[in-house]
Amino acid sequence: MRALILCWCWLLLGGCGQIPVSVDYQSGVDFSRFSHYYWLPPEANQQPESIYNSDLVSARVEQAVEQQLLNRSLLRTDDPELADVLVRYQIGVE
């Protein structure tokens, strides 16, 4: 019985590590010259709301991005003219 439970846990954990993530940026960019960022409004042709694209997921993504930008000393601005970096994300599900 104990071996069966251990095998079951092993199978469950094995399925958790296969989430593909893609990132696009230009390597070699000196981010120290940037000081402010601005959130662009979402694109109009987003996917319909789902478990992967919801207000909760959006809030978590925005919080994670803002924390990473803050860790790099970038401050948020409400004026796009003052921004050095424009930020937008997109969620896609296949």
HEC assignment per residue over the chain = CHHHHHHHHHHHHHHHHCCCCCCCCCCCCCHHHCCEEEECCCCCCCCCCCCCCCHHHHHHHHHHHHHHHHHCCCEECCCHHHCCEEECCCCCCC
Which single residue is written with the structure tokens 């970038």? 74
pLDDT tens-digit readout, 11-53: 555 555 556 666 677 788 887 899 999 999 877 666 666 667 7
From the list 90, 93, 92, the residue with the least C-alpha distance to 42 is: 90
pLDDT tens-digit readout, 52-88: 777 888 889 899 999 989 988 999 999 999 999 999 8
pTM attached to this predicted model = 0.63
Rounded to whole angstroms, the Cα distance separating 89 from 40 reads 9
